[in-house]
A and B are shown apart, each in its own frame.
Chain A
C-alpha cells in the first residue's frame, strides 16, 4: 500500500508539474513567436503604431511591465503587466455580459485584475484598494478579482493585469512600452521577421521566443529527469516491500496451509487460494494507496510549483490532476506487483510437506546462489551495453541505471549471508552465544530477511546518490559563483532585459562610475539573442577589465592565449553546455548573422557556466562593435580600489542611481546568497522525494524485521524456558536487526556514492551538458547512515517486548 502510495504521488506530482509547465508555456508564450525590446531603455509607442500600419495583419501586442511592492509590508515582489485589453481582448469565456464585469479595467483610471488569492493577500480585509510602491513613487490601485469562469485561464499569483493606459499612468511612462509581442505566422516567419527588423529604428531588437521556449523545454526535461529517476527507484523499493509483506502473510499461516493440505486440498487449489487472496489484498491496498498518493501529491506539488515560480515566472497550479486511466494503471501495477511478489512465497507454501507444515517447522531453504549470479552478470552486461549505446538519450541512461541496480541489489542477500557466516566463524567463543543464535537465525531465514535488507539498501543508495549529486552540484555552483563574482558591486535592470528607463541609463552610469576615483574598473555585460546557423544563439557581450578576467574559469583553452586575442581578433569563448550540445572544441568556429552577413568566430576557450543549460557564446565588446551596431548594457560590475570601503562606494553608486528606480544594486555576497537560495529551493522537491523513499523503505524494514522476529517467538519461548534473562533476549533480537542495518548501511554508502557519480557524469552531462567535480558531504551521509541504523534498532523494540511478555509456556505450546 505504501509502495503504491508513493508511486501514485510521484506520478501525480510529475504529471501535475508537467501540466504546470505546459500550462505556463501555453498561457505565457502561447502564439507569441517574437518579442521586440529596446536594448537600452523603453520603446516609444510610435514604433507600435508604425508597425501596426506597415504590417496590418500583424496585430502586435503592446506590453508595459514593471515590478511593484506594497510599502510597509514584508518585501514581496508583485509584477504589474499592462496589456492592451482590447486588441486581442481579454480571453473571456461565457456570455459577454459576464465579462462586462471586467469593464472597470478600461473605464477606471487605476483598476487592476488579480486572481482571488492575490486579492485576498493584498487587501487583507479593508476596502478594495491597495497602495503600491512603483518606481519610487506611491500609487493607489483598485483591485478586481477575475470573477469565476469569466476568464479562459487562471491568472498566476502576484500578477496584476492592467490596461496599457493604466500601466503607462502608474509607471509614469506615457508613450512608452517595455515590449511589443508578435505572433508571426509559420509560413514566411523568417522573411517577415527580417522585414520587421529592417523597419525598426536603431536600438530595437526582435527576439525569437523560440529560444525561450527551447529553454523551457530543457527545464521541463530536467524536472522530469529528476522525478522519473525517483519514481522508478521507488517502484523497485515498493516491489521488495510487497514481496516482504506477502511472504510474511504466508509464512505466518504455514500451519493452516499444512492443515488444509492434510485435509486433501490440492497444491493447485492452495496456490489459487493464496494468489486470489494476494490479489484481493493488492486491490484493496492499491486503492488505499492511490488515495494516499493523491494526498501526498498535494504536498509535493507545493514544492514543485515553488520551484517553477522561482525559476520561471509566477505560476499557480495547485490542482492535482491525473486521469482515471493513469490512476487505474498504477493501481493495476500495484496488484500485479503484489501477485508477482506473492507467487514465490505462495509456491513455497504449497511445496511445504504436510508433516512439516503441521509441525510448523521452518523449512526455508537456501536459495540457489548460482541463479542470482547469472542474473547479476546478465544485468551488469546489459547495463554496460546500454551505457555504450547511450550518447544523449536519457531513457537509455536510466535503463542502464536500473539494470545496474538490479545487478547489484540481487546480490545483497548473498552478501549479507556471507557477512553473517563470516561473523559466525569469528564469534566462536561461548560468551557470544546470544549473538550466535541471532546470526544463526539470520542465516536460516535469509530468504525472509534478504529482501528487507535489499529494500532498505536500495532506498539508502537512492538517498545517498541524490545527496551526492545535489551537494556536488551545489558546491560546484558555489565555487563557480565565488570565482565568477569578482566585482564588489553589481548593477542591473530590475527585470534583466537590456531596457527600461531613459535611453541609456547604464551607459550613462558607466561613464559616471569610471570618473570616480574610488573605482578601479567597471565591467559590463549585454545579453542578446542572435540568429545562428542552428537557430538563435544566446550571445553575451563582455567588457572584461583585468580583475574580471580571473572570474572566467576555462575548462579548455589557455587563459593567457584567450586574453591575448580577446579584443583584437574575431575570437569567441563559449560555455561548456554550448560546446557540449554543439560538439565544438577549441579552434572550431561559431557562425553568427551580422548586419554584413554571416561571420565566423573562432572558439578560443570553453568556460564553466551553470547559468544557462542551452549554452551561450561570449564576445568582447570591441569584437562585437566590429560587426554590429553598438548595443546597450544589461548589467555593470564595479571594482573598488583596495583602499576604498565597499559601503562607501555603494553609497556613491546609490546616489548616482537614485533617479533610476528600475536599477537594482547588489553587493557581491548578496548576489551569491540569492543565487544559492534559489538553487536550494530548486532541489527541495528532489531531496524530499529521496527522503520519502528512504522513509517508506524504513517502514518496510521495520515490518519485515517484525515478521521475522515474530516467527522466532517459539524459539524465544524455548530460550526463556531455559532461563535466559531479558537482557540476553534483547541482545539476540537487536543483534539481528543491527546486522541488517549495518550491512545495508555499509553497502549503501559506497553504492550511493557510485550512483551519485553516475548521476553527475552521465545523467547531468546528458541533460544539461555541464560537468562538475563529485564531492561527498560526509555529514549528510553520516545522518543517512545513522537513520538507517536507527530504523534497524527501532524494528527490534516490539519483538523484544513481545517476547518478554509472552509466557514461555504459551510460546512452547506450539511446539
Chain B
C-alpha cells in the first residue's frame, strides 16, 4: 500500500520511451555521424603509418581503433529473371578505448550497427532494416577466431579463409538473405598500401582494403517467395580513428564491377565549398589483377542528373559520367532504382547501379553500388 500503489498503477514499463521511433532529422550516414565527433579518446590507436596486412587475421576486428566496418554490397539475379541489389553492412564503433571499470557484462564500449537492405528491381522496391547492439552477452560482437561479426542472427563469417569466402546471413520482417560469397584473388589494398589518407593531418587516415570481385551464390527471400540467386558482391573493409576534416561534408563512393572482370573503386570527398577534396582517391583493378591508383586529378566525374527524395526532400546526384583519361575509360553510372534512400536513424543513399561505357575501343558494362553520404 505504498502511495504509488494506491490505485494499483505500479509496474508501468519505464523504458518504453526508448522503443519509440524517435523523430530524427539526421542527414548523416552512420559513418559521417561517428566521424563528426572530433574530441577523440587519445587512447585509441590511429592509422599513422603503413602496416603489414595479414589474412585471415585482418578480416577480424581491430578493437583498439575507434571505428571499423564490413561492407558487403552486390547485384544478384535469378534464372527466372528476378534481380536484386543487396547491402549488408556491419559497423563497429567504440565509445571509448577502454571498457568502463564497472562490474557488468554491459560495460563494453563496443557498439555494433547493422544495415541490411534489399532492392527488388522487378517490384521496384527498396527494403531497409537496421539493428544496433552493444557487444554484450554474446548477442552482438566481432570475433577474430574465426573472423566473424554479428548482431543476433545477422552474421558475416569467414568460411573459407584461403579463398576469402564469407557466409552472409540476414533476415528481418519477411526479407532474408542467405549468401555465400568468395573470391580467389587477394584483397586490394587501397591508398598507400592500405593506408588511406582522408585529410592532411597525420593520423587522419584509415586502413582500407577491398575484395572487389566476389562471386555470390545463395538465396533471397521476400515474403513467401524464395529466389535462388547468383551474382557479384563487393567487400570494403576499413578501420581507423580519424575524423572528417572541418571542411569536409561527405562523400560519394563508387564500387563498380565490369563483365570483363575489371573493377573500379573511387571515393570523392566533398568539401563544404562544393568542390572535390584533393584527398579523393580510388583504384582500377584490371581483369588481369593489375592495380592502377587513381587520384582526384586523373578521374573526372560529372553529375548529369539529380533526384530529390519525395519523403525527405533531400536532393542527391542520380547519374554520373566518369572519365579516366590515363586508362581511356568513359563510363556512365545509372541507379537501377531511383529511391534507394536510407531513412532510418541515418539518412544516406546507397544503391545498386548499372554501368555502361567503353575502355578504349572495347565496350564496358556491369553493375555496382554507389554510396552518397552527407547530403541535406
| Residue ranges of A at the interface with B (Cβ–Cβ < 8 Å) | 26-32, 35, 37, 45-46, 48-49, 52-53, 56-57, 59, 61-63, 65, 79, 81, 83-97, 100, 103, 106-110, 152-153, 159, 163-166, 168-169, 174-175, 179, 181, 183, 207, 209, 212, 215-216, 219, 310-313, 485, 490, 492, 494-497, 527, 538, 611-613, 616, 664, 666, 671, 674-675, 677-679
Contact = CB atoms under 8 A, between A and B. Distances in A.
A88 B19 contact: yes
B2 A496 contact: yes
22 contacts: A27-B16, A32-B13, A45-B105, A46-B137, A89-B132, A95-B25, A96-B36, A97-B33, A109-B102, A165-B104, A165-B107, A168-B106, A169-B102, A174-B103, A174-B105, A212-B12, A312-B4, A494-B2, A496-B2, A497-B10, A527-B8, A677-B3
B6 A311 contact: yes
Given A169-B104, A215-B9, A311-B4, A91 B137 contact: no
Contacts of A169: 102-104, 107
A666 B1 contact: yes
B95 interface: yes
A611 B20 CA distance: 31
Nearest to A497: B11
Interface of B: 1-20, 22-28, 33-34, 36-37, 95-96, 100-107, 109, 111, 131-134, 137-139, 152-154, 171-173, 345
Contact of B4 (A31, A175, A313): A313
Contact of A671 (B1, B106, B132): B1
A84 B158 CA distance: 30
B345 to A, nearest CB: 7
A87 B13 contact: no
By Cβ-Cβ distance, the 4 closest A-B pairs, closest first, are A91-B22, A169-B102, A165-B106, A32-B16
A466 to B, nearest CB: 20
Contacts of B5: 496, 611
Contact of B28 (A29, A95, A165, A612): A95
A102 to B, nearest CB: 10
B16 A29 contact: yes
Nearest to A34: B13
A498 to B, nearest CB: 10
Given A91-B20, A165-B106, A219-B7, A179 B1 contact: no
A27 B154 CA distance: 30
Nearest to B28: A96
Given A108-B100, A165-B104, A168-B103, A87 B132 contact: yes
A612 B7 contact: yes
B11 A164 contact: no
Q: Which of B17, B102, B103, B105 is packed against the most chain A CB atoms within 10 Å?
A: B17
Contacts of A61: 13, 15-16, 18-19
A108 B36 CA distance: 21
A87 B6 contact: no
A678 B7 CA distance: 10
A678 B3 contact: yes
Contacts of B12: 28-29, 209, 212, 216, 312-313
Given A57-B173, A93-B22, A166 B9 contact: no
Nearest to B137: A49
A84 B100 contact: no
Given A29-B16, A30-B16, A91-B17, A106 B95 contact: yes
B22 A89 contact: yes
Q: Which of B5, B34, B111, B154 is packed against the most chain A CB atoms within 10 Å?
A: B5
A329 to B, nearest CB: 30
B18 A91 contact: yes
B2 to A, nearest CB: 6
Contacts of A527: 8
B19 A32 contact: yes
Contacts of A219: 7, 9
Contact of A81 (B14, B25, B96, B105): B14
B53 to A, nearest CB: 30
A175 B13 contact: no
Contact of B17 (A30, A59, A97, A612): A30
Contacts of B17: 27-28, 30, 91, 153
Given A52-B152, A84-B106, A168-B102, A93 B24 contact: yes
Given A86-B133, A166-B100, A485-B1, 6 more contacts: A27-B17, A94-B26, A109-B100, A168-B102, A310-B3, A674-B2
A89 B20 CA distance: 10
Given A48-B137, A497-B11, A97 B36 contact: yes
A312 B8 CA distance: 9
B19 to A, nearest CB: 4
B13 A56 contact: no
A679 B3 CA distance: 9
Contacts of A207: 11
A165 B153 CA distance: 24
A527 B1 CA distance: 12
A88 B18 contact: yes
B15 A86 contact: no
B37 A100 contact: yes
A63 B13 contact: yes
Q: Which of B1, B9, B36, B101 is packed against the most chain A CB atoms within 10 Å?
A: B1
Contact of B96 (A63, A107, A110, A215): A107
A96 B6 CA distance: 41
A37 B37 CA distance: 38
A494 B345 CA distance: 37
Given A31-B20, A107-B96, A108-B100, A81 B15 contact: yes
Contacts of B132: 86-89
A115 B18 CA distance: 16
A106 B109 contact: yes
Given A96-B26, A496-B4, A497-B10, A53 B139 contact: yes
Nearest to A57: B172
B113 to A, nearest CB: 9
B18 A496 contact: no
B36 A675 contact: no
Contacts of B103: 168-169, 174
A613 B34 CA distance: 50
Q: Which of B10, B16, B132, B134 is packed against the most chain A CB atoms within 10 Å?
A: B16
Nearest to A484: B1
Contacts of B152: 52-53, 56
B13 A28 contact: yes
A30 B153 CA distance: 26
A35 B13 contact: yes
Given A107-B96, A311-B6, A613-B7, A164 B26 contact: no
A664 B138 contact: no
A58 to B, nearest CB: 9
B7 A93 contact: no
B18 to A, nearest CB: 4
Given A37-B11, A53-B139, A674 B100 contact: no
A710 B307 CA distance: 78
B198 to A, nearest CB: 17
B28 A92 contact: no
Q: Which of A48, A56, A81, A90 is packed against the most chain B CB atoms within 10 Å?
A: A56
A109 B138 CA distance: 22
Nearest to B154: A56
Given A86-B133, A108-B100, A169-B103, A30 B19 contact: yes
A28 B16 contact: yes
A495 B9 CA distance: 11
Contacts of A175: 104-105
Contacts of B172: 56-57
Contacts of A100: 36-37
Contacts of A312: 4, 9, 12
A63 B104 contact: no
